[in-house]
């Protein structure tokens, strides 16, 4: 399992459209992907679970990946978060 820390710079935080994009991007990989915010963790396989984290702009999160393509998956998710912040 690999992890990467990130700060959410998306102006409205992680809302439904962002959760959908994260979910769709995660579906491209064999690895299991998760977001951790505080003491809570959500699978990127569930839009509702992502939204339930209540991630606001400026929040520190961890992206966790476990599987055969975990490195590529982490790069893709972090890249998407960066792209969505602009």
> Nearest 5°: CA angle at 9, between 7 and 14?
90
- Structural domains in the chain, CATH included, are 2-84 (3.30.1340.10)
Residues catalogued as catalytic:
15
**pLDDT at position 68:** 96
Listed residue (83, 86, 62) closest to 74, CA to CA: 62
pLDDT band at residue 81, thresholds of 50, 70 and 90?
A: very high
Q: Which of 6, 4, 59, 61 is nearest to 31 (CA)?
A: 4
pLDDT of residue 9: 95
Residue 6 confidence (pLDDT)? 95
């Amino acid at each position: 399992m690999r992890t990467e820390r990130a700060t959410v710079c998306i102006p409205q935080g992680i809302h439904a459209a962002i959760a959908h994009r994260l979910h769709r991007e995660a579906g491209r990989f064999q690895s299991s992907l998760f977001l951790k915010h505080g003491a809570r963790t959500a699978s990127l396989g569930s839009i509702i679970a992502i939204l339930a984290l209540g991630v606001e702009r400026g929040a520190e999160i961890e992206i966790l990946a476990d599987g055969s393509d975990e490195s590529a998956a982490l790069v893709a998710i972090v890249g998407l978060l960066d792209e969505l912040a602009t």
